[in-house]
Structures are given as structure tokens and as C-alpha cells.
Structure 1
């Protein structure tokens, strides 16, 4: 593969990255007896091609992939390291082009069943009449969950934007400003640093937004969000995160901020207070930091994921905070962290009962959090990278309570 890069505005994904990813996914395909993989989900296409233009990626198990571009061809040609690029007027052109390029249609083809709508699935079946489509999600996941050194550097760049934004929060938070107004302020600041604004998520029922601020008793309000914490949100139609409540002095304030830069995400939460933090909230905040560092020490290759979850629960129990940890007693979250990369929440999940072993290159947002019903929320979230011998923070924001 030869890169056709000539002075474009953004840095491309290195050609060596794309080649390595294609080789890895083809090995996975061969192991599962997949003849081909048809990618329609933008983050997956970007991961394996380097472009997120309006296109589709077709990968055979033993031949170079083909990128089918609907629009915009010149940008796709500049951005991708792939050499086989075919312009199309419609997705309906793809079957005949596959037959032209590979002399046949695949017998078995993988689709990302976790994100492909049922309507689209039936449409693809009509396009490839003699092809048996199967779930290719595990093949994609096996590649994407192990981050390369280049990807780690991208995530560190996103972490730097997050650190700078938390510094802006510390300097600009003030009493009587509404939760939503303050979120708008620090999101606008982060955009000046390159934050893309739009966060991506793997599951269609999960809401993603760059900020999640809960002040005072709003932090103690449970709700629909699949998280220990919820907040009021802006309406009954959007009942998550920041709302119209005005921030006050001497109350716990939890701010959760998601960053995306060059496609890669960071996800961090920190506690703030304007003035003095009540003792109960300060103790819970310090407990979350203790759990975070305990998990940092625990996370290393070969450790089962459910062991990380149980370790967190046991520390909360030791600190006599088990009832408030990870949600109210009848609404507890069953995970302590989630994979993160090209999507804010992606596999694998550090969940109760999950026996999958940690591997070098996995990256997780770890979020030990507490909810005190109708009182406040407390917690922290930082990004941790599993290395060859242990783990390390990818987050640059100091793991502390921000006293303002």
C-alpha cells in the first residue's frame, strides 16, 4: 500500500498503522472462516482505512481491501492509505464491483451486527443474494480493543485538551451560574483547543454528550442513565446530566467531561467545590480516589475483568460506602470501567462476572462513583492503559478535588 498524501490539512493515519490493522483483521477472519468483511459503521471504516468520508469498506481474507466511495472522492483519496478505491453513485453499485474485483461474491461475509440496523441488514442481503451474512463484531472488536503506540499518543493528545479544560473550569466556575451555562462555557473553550464536539458511542440506546455536571442535590437524583449518576438534564425528554440549577458555594459539584481529538476520546470526572466541601462529601471523594489507585495497581495483563470489578466493590465495602457505591442499592451499575478509543464507550467492559483477561494495549475509563440519594454525588474518572507489565494513567488531569 502506498500513501498518496500531498500537503492536506490534517495529519493522516500512518500507512504502517493501516497495514497492521488490515493484516490483523484478516488473521481474525481466517480463524473464524470469514471470506469477507463488509464495514458500514463510520468509526470502523475510519479505523481500517484512515478516512471517514461517505464510503464503505470491503475486506477479503487474503486480498487487498477495496474502499467504495460515494462522496467525497478527492478527500477520500487524500486521506486513505488504501490503494484500491472505487467511486460509486449508489451502494447498489458495490455487488457488481466486488464481482469485478474478486471474480465472485463471498460465501460468508461479516457485518457489525452490534451497530447495523435490521433494515440495512435485509437490504445488504438483497444486494448479495448468494452470500451468508454473519456477525463480524468480534473480529472488529479484537482489533480495535488493542491500541497501538500511535493510538496511545492520539489519546494522550485528547487527554491534554481535557486537562486544559479542567484548568479552565477551575479558573472560571462561580456561584449562581447555572449548570448548563457553565457547561456551555467550558465546552466552547475546549473547542478552541480542537475538541470535535461530537462524541461517538457504540450502542444506539446510549446517550453521549461532552459534559455531565451535577451540583448539590442534583447529584443525588437517580434516573434513566446507565451509570451510577444521572442529574436532572434539561427536560423530561432529555433527563440526563446538567440542568437549569444554579451552582452554589460549599456544595459538592461533580463534572464529567468527554473529549474527542482526531477521532480519539478521553473521559474524565473530577469533584469541585467553591469554598469548603462538607465532610461527608470530602470523605466519599477521597474514597473514590483511593479506589482508582487501587485499581491502577491491580490492572495488569492476565487479570480477569471481573476481578477488577470485585476489587473496587471490596474497597468500597472496607470504607463502609458499599450502599452508595455505583448507584443506589436497587439501581447499581454492574461495571467499573469501559473501553475507550474511537468511541467514548466501546468494548471491552470491566463488568461483574466478565472473565475476559486484560491484555497489553487495552484502554479503559475507570469510574468509581458514589450517589447519596437526594444529597450529592461524589466520584472520579480517569483513563488507564494496560501495559506489558502493569498499567498507567493516560489522563493528565490531576486526580484530586478541585477547591475553587
Structure 2
């Protein structure tokens, strides 16, 4: 289960190369976020990874040093009780340090600066994101395993879980049990400190309820304090559109997939036509996922082909539309780059995207689709299946 040492070595070398390219005068970087620590060391512990430009990196672990050494193939793991221990060996820095400014708190930075005496701080979030965006064969193998589980559960097993009168929470708990039994890791991870059990599981118009997450769909939620899982009050009835938008993970690496189902009878024709158009948009975007393509141009090209009438409530219902067609994915569901404006670096073979064109339909819910695609020279290759959705369950 260990991340191979060759994999860790390759990742560190690619990060150093990226820093040299983007910040030729960099001297030292520090990693504290648990997902980035896992990426570079192969273990999630409370610690600090120091990466000097002219010396080998050291992983300083507060807790648990024993677990870190048991789990990780990283070459230099040392025990610390506080940042003081690391600074005593590393010495004062007296230069700007590059940190994950998206996630490091001011309190955490203050504790580090007390001992290392940085002269300033600069962000390295973009550089780490760019390195992580290109997956190795090792990473691909895990995502392909996740994709197979994802496809099998949502396309083959979910129809037998749908029972008239069940509530959204009942489906969510049943689905969670099935997912874990089939090999799902049990949680999915997002950036900015967020984790979730599965994702969005909705009946009918619950799928277009407003939500705080930057996503086309919605969810009723258990309670204002727990805006997740679904609603115990929303019961499944004939004629409902069922929307399941969930992640699946294997050893940290995730895929994203949305499947829709027509329970008891078909949904209105206008919704079916809108869904079919969303599937065509997915296929259009996927065909453009080739090395050298520019995400901004893919977004502009595909959006420019859509009629004003179709764009109403596209990628979110009412005022809740999002400004993307897909997003990078890997150790986190919402990785960079994004198929949206403002992402101008060319795609590379090895990148993976979740493509999710969706449209809200009044009194029906959210139609559309999502699958996870690998960038290849001949276009995107789906890791999560090719079913067009709106699977009838009669």
C-alpha cells in the first residue's frame, strides 16, 4: 500500500523544476497541508516538509513519527515536537518562504515564522497544483480502479436500490454501504479543508436547491447545520428524476460521476431533450481533451455553440450557475486546471478531468451527465463508463 519511492522522487523533482521555471530566485519551500504532504511523502501526518533549493528535503513530523516511518518511503523523516526543533537544524531562513497560502492559517504561519524568521512569504499553490495535475501511470492505475467501481455501482447496482417511498437519506446510506463494499475508500476530498461522504443524492427538484458549493447541482440536506446527505422528508415517487452525483476513491485517488434515473415513468419530453443535449456537450468537450489544447479555448468554443434558450439554467438553476464545464481531479475532486476562462496553459497527456454539463428544469430537477476523462492524443477517454444517463427504472 506504500507509495513507491520512485514515485515520490519523481514528484519532488517535478516540483523543483516547476519552481525553477516559475520562481527562478526561490530558496526554500514548506508544505503543511495533509493532501500535499501525502502527495510528496506518502503519508498524512502532522508535520512540515521543508524543501530547500540546494539541499535535500526533510519531512519533520510531530505526530505520528512512528506511523510516518511505517507508511512512507520518503528518504528523510525526522521527529519534532515543535517548529523549534526543525529550525534548530535548518537554521534561520532570513529569506521569503514559499507556502500553501490557500490553506496555511495566520496562526500556523506565525508559529513557523517565530522560529525560522522568514523575511516574507510567497504562494506555491499554483506550482503544486500544476505538478499534481499530470498523473503518472501509478496514479492512473488507482483512478482507473476507482472509475470501474464508480461505473459498476451507478450503472449496474443503483437501479435495484431505488424503492418507492424511500427518502433521500435512506438511499444515501444504502448507496454508501454498497460503494464501500465494492472498494470505495469511504470519503471524498475537496480543496479548502472540505471532505464529504459521497456527494449529492437527490429526488426531483431537490437537485436544483441552492447550495453553498460551487457546483451546478443542489441538495436539500438534513438540516441547516448539516446541508449534506439529502432530506428525510423527500420521498421517492413515480415520475421522479433521481440524480446521483458522487465521487469514488481508491487509495486517495478519485473519480467523479453523475448518473440520472427515471423512476416509475419517463420525465417530460422537454427535460429528456435537454438531457440529451447535455450528453452531446459532454462528448463535444471530451473530443477536445488533447495535449496542447487550451482550457479557456475549449470553454469558449463549446459555450459559443449553445443557443441562448439552452443556456438559460445551464450549469445551474436560476442565479446559481457556475462558470465552468469541467474540472481537474485526482487526490481532490476539485483540482486545477478547470475547463473555464482564465486557464491558458496547454493540456498535457496525463491530465484528468471531470466533465459535467447539466441543466436545471423547472418542476423536474437537474438533467445532464458527468464522467471522468483522461487526456489522450485522440481526445478524452472515459474512466467511468459511457452510459448516457436517464436510466429507466420502471
Name the residue aligned to 2:273.
283
Alignment of 1:189 onto 2:181: no
Once the two structures are superposed, the pairs formed by residues 293-372 of structure 1 within 5 Å of their partners are 293-317=283-307, 320-328=309-317, 330-372=319-361
Name the residue aligned to 1:212.
200
Alignment of 1:140 onto 2:132: no
**Partner SS, residue 141 of structure 1:** helix
Question: For the Cα contact (< 8 Å) 1:295–1:311, is it kept in 2?
Answer: no
Measure the CA separation in 1 of the matches of 2:78 and 2:211: 47
Quote the offset at 1:131 in angstroms: 4.2
Question: For the Cα contact (< 8 Å) 1:363–1:385, is it kept in 2?
Answer: yes
Quote the offset at 1:271 in angstroms: 0.7
Name the residue aligned to 1:8.
none
Name the residue aligned to 2:66.
74
Question: For the Cα contact (< 8 Å) 1:230–1:241, is it kept in 2?
Answer: no
TM-score (norm 2): 0.92
Given candidates 54, 57, 70, the residue that maps to 1:65 is 57
Given candidates 119, 124, 128, the residue that maps to 2:112 is 124
Question: For the Cα contact (< 8 Å) 1:326–1:368, is it kept in 2?
Answer: yes
Name the residue aligned to 1:15.
5
Q: Give the aligned length.
A: 388
Alignment of 1:378 onto 2:367: yes
**Partner SS, residue 360 of structure 2:** strand
Pair 1:30–1:144, CA change in 2 (3 A): same
Name the residue aligned to 2:101.
113
Quote the offset at 1:27 in angstroms: 1.5
Measure the CA separation in 1 of the matches of 2:380 and 2:386: 17
Q: Which runs of 5+ in 1 are unaligned?
A: 1-10
TM-score (norm 1): 0.89
Alignment of 1:47 onto 2:39: yes
Indicate the RMSD between aligned Cα atoms, in angstroms: 2.1
Measure the CA separation in 1 of the matches of 2:216 and 2:142: 28
Measure the CA separation in 1 of the matches of 2:160 and 2:306: 32
Q: Which runs of 5+ in 2 are unaligned?
A: none
Name the residue aligned to 2:223.
235
Measure the CA separation in 2 of the matches of 1:269 and 1:275: 20
